[in-house]
Amino acid sequence: MKLYKCPKCGHQMAGELPNYCPNCACPSADFIASDVEVVKQKDAQKKTMTTSPKQADSKGCFIGVFIVLLGFILLMCFIGSNEASTTHSQSTKVENYNDNSTAHQLLAKTWFEECIKQNLKDPRSYDEIDHRVKYNTGTETYLVSIKFRAKNSFGGYSVEIYSGTVNFSEDGRVHCKILDKESL
């Protein structure tokens, strides 16, 4: 049996030679004839081929992406191990917070503010008016006094002064203690 292929549209027809292509009306004189068995053998050969150039390119691309991803993961692990050692050295700096530097005073004030906010009915209403921070070298604590306004239980604003201590322990913990509350 013969197989005919139209050179214009590529439509394939089997059997007797038609007068024209049913797909594009190309005359039959231009048709390319081949034997059905030969076409079947060529199709079988195409199926047995393992990889086409496009498949080989996609496998190479996949391997390349995999290698880059693996390199990125290893780099992040290396950076993470360096950050772990950096974090360890930063945690030892916490031991030295007990001095009279301005940065440490602000840190002590911030921790004391958080301690105050935990005792308020509406922590969002907290509004600082004034603060004072002093470092006591004898006890290695910060003496903090904060004047603020905040909502009371009735929904009105009241002005209060809280005084207390903030201590940075050697294990990195912060200890806040409110010693005095004064309402104005």
pLDDT digits (tens, 9 = 90+) for 44-62: 666 665 555 555 566 677 7
Q: 3-state SS string over the chain?
A: CEEEECCCCCCEEECCCCCECCCCCCEHHHCEEEEHHHHHHHHHHHHHCCCCHHHHHHHHHHHHHHHHHHHHHHHHHHHHHHHHHHHHHHHHHHHHHCCCCHHHHHHHHHHHHHHHHHCCCCHHHCEEEEEEEEEECCCCEEEEEEEEEEECCCCCEEEEEEEEEEEECCCCCEEEEEEEEEEC
Q: What is the pLDDT of residue 39?
A: 52
Confidence grade of residue 147 (pLDDT, cut at 50, 70, 90) = very high
Beta carbons within 8 Å of 112's beta carbon, 6+ residues apart? 142, 144, 146, 162, 164, 166, 176
With a pLDDT cut of 70, the percent of the chain lying above it is 69
Q: What is the pLDDT of residue 25?
A: 77
Confidence grade of residue 96 (pLDDT, cut at 50, 70, 90) = very low
Which residue, 38, 36, 32, 7, is CA-closest to 17?
32
pLDDT in tens, 6-28: 878 887 877 777 777 888 877 77
Of residues 41 and 81, more confidently modeled: 41
Q: What pTM did the predictor assign?
A: 0.46
Domains, the chain, ordered by start: 2-48 (2.20.28.10), 97-183 (no CATH)
Q: What is the pLDDT of residue 89?
A: 32
Of residues 24 and 2, more confidently modeled: 24
Select the highest-mean-pLDDT range: 76-80, 94-98, 178-182: 178-182
For 136-146, what is the mean pLDDT? 89
pLDDT in tens, 28-37: 766 666 554 5
| pLDDT above 70 for 136 | yes
CA 111 to chain centre: 29
